[in-house]
Amino acid sequence: MNSEKPLPLVSDPDGAPYWAAAKRHRLSLQQCDQCHSFLYPPGPACPHCGSSLISYNDIGSEVTGRVYSYIISYRAFVAGFSDDVPYVVALVDVDGVPDVKILADLIDCRPDEVRIGMPVHMTWEDRTEDVTLPQWKVTL
């Protein structure tokens, strides 16, 4: 069964700058202008202090981190992923960005090889002309 994978809504006003940066293969995260906390996922206000004064901060294209947690999916709950099972979805603690963990597929890694704490780096998957998704790869 081959079906299309769902795509994120890149035109959402809170997340549009995040997705525009991803299209350029860069990570850009919201940062609260009041308490200076980084925010992920994007939203209309800081969950830490409630301020709506938020700016985007370019983290860059060389994003690294460590696997904080992960799941191995042996069943496709969305038809578009049926050809990918089993696959790993990793929650990664991003280096240099306090309290930010980003969830994405861990690609090119066998499910039996993934470990908590393993170093990874962000890579980019151009899904369509308008949508680029961050993904994780194991750092060798």
32-78 residue pLDDT tens: 999 999 999 999 999 999 999 999 999 999 999 999 999 999 999 89
pLDDT in tens, 89-122: 999 999 999 999 999 999 999 999 999 999 999 9
In a domain, 3, yes or no: no
Domain identity same for 107 and 43 = no
pTM summary value: 0.92
Establish whether the linkage from the previous residue to 8 is cis, with ω within 30° of 0.
Answer: no
Residue 85 lies in a domain: yes
pLDDT at 140: 86
Supply the pLDDT for residue 3. Answer: 61
Residue 5 lies in a domain: no
How much is the pLDDT for 45?
97
Could you tell me which of 58, 51, 65, 66 has the C-alpha nearest to residue 28? 58
Domain that includes residue 23, residue range: 10-61
Same domain, 134 and 72: yes
* 75 and 126 both lie in a single domain: yes
Report the C-alpha gap between 34 and 12 in whole angstroms: 23
